[in-house]
Amino acid sequence: MKVDCLESTLEKSLQAKFPSDLKVSILLDFTRGSRGRKNSRTMLLPLLQKFPEQVRVSLFHTPNLRGLLRLFIPERFNETIGLQHIKVYLFDNSVILSGANLSDSYFTNRQDRYVFLQDCADVADFFTELVEAVGDVSLQLQGDDTVQVVDGMVHPYKGDRAAYCKAANERVMGVINSARARQQQLHAQTFHGDPLLTQDAAAAGDRRPAPDTWIYPLVQMKPFEIQIDEIVTETLLTEAERGARVYLTTGYFNLTQAYMDLVLGTRAEYQILLASPEVNGFFGAKGVAGAIPAAYVHIERQFYSEVCGLGQQERVQLQEYWRRGWTFHAKGLWLYLAGSSLPCLTLIGSPNFGYRSVHRDLEAQIAIVTESRALQQQLHQGWP
């Protein structure tokens, strides 16, 4: 159905009286998008064949899946080596950031989180450039169902791994550094009253009030030595003071050792929400996958044993989400400063705070920092 919508919109753009520059760029993971006989790749091929000038389908292939490893690890299990896991949906100047995929269950009976940033050109530009950058270091799907690398790019699993990762780092960091420079300029203008910047804004007729909300994109791509999200998350957990509250949720409880140590070793109160075994997406699956919910329960029990061993069960509380007929996939963090009943910050996006999110996958989320009481109330109500 979603592919049909894209096809219909592309058809209308070609039939419009005025020339349209509509482009559709889709970034998927190679292994996940190619799994099985009917998959995302086969669904998108007709679109690519019909609108070759307007549609781009990029398939990211982790550089860590290569050689004999790539040859012998079966489908589905090869995804554990590393994925393109970013979930961002862009429409002109509007952005939806989420941890959700676009498969049917997410629109029917799967609990997840979404944030819609309407007419937010700066954030839309950043994520457009990020998707294009990752697309450029990915394999390009062709109309005959083959794939090709972009001209001049190192092949992700046939080429030299170090050379590929270096090229990918330079391409993605170019986007990040450019956005960082723009945001630093805006910070200087807003908070430090840079006279030159202020005069320029006034001359341009810019008399907008000082913003009460800031959005910071956070990217994690450890294979390319990009660790921004990890650093920010660790900093938030480290700096959370006594009396502050941190709400944390993940569909797959497998916090990194560093995150667990910070939760156990800091003074803030923690409320951690995770999926009960019955609402884990792998519950009832055939074969080895069916044992995954039990593995997460084992990790949860180990962690809670540590909490109890330290006498911290009042400060660190664990809860399991359960809803009949539903699965749970929501992830994120909410920060409540000491003495406040509403959060001033939330993280929302694709990371699960686990080993794969930090070390293997490509992830992105945003930190929303706000003084707006109305928005703080909405963020508070967004706790599942």
Catalytic residue positions, numbered? 85, 87, 92
CA distances (Å), origin 303, targets 54, 253, 296, 299: 50, 10, 11, 6
Contact 176, 219 (CB under 8 A): yes
Contact 145, 158 (CB under 8 A): no
CA 251, distance to chain mean position in Å, is 14
3 CB neighbour count, 10 Å cutoff: 15
Half-sphere exposure (CA, 13 Å, Cβ side) for 266?
A: 22
At 226, give phi and psi (nearest 5°): -115, 115
Contact 307, 264 (CB under 8 A): yes
Q: How far apart are CA 24 and CA 52, in angstroms?
A: 10
Q: How far apart are CA 55 and CA 84, in angstroms?
A: 19
Q: How far apart are CA 115 and CA 347, in angstroms?
A: 10
CA 188, distance to chain mean position in Å, is 28
Q: What is the DSSP string of 258-311?
A: HHHHHHHHSSSEEEEEEE-GGGSTTTT-SGGGGGHHHHHHHHHHHHHHHHHHTT
Q: How far apart are CA 4 and CA 355, in angstroms?
A: 36
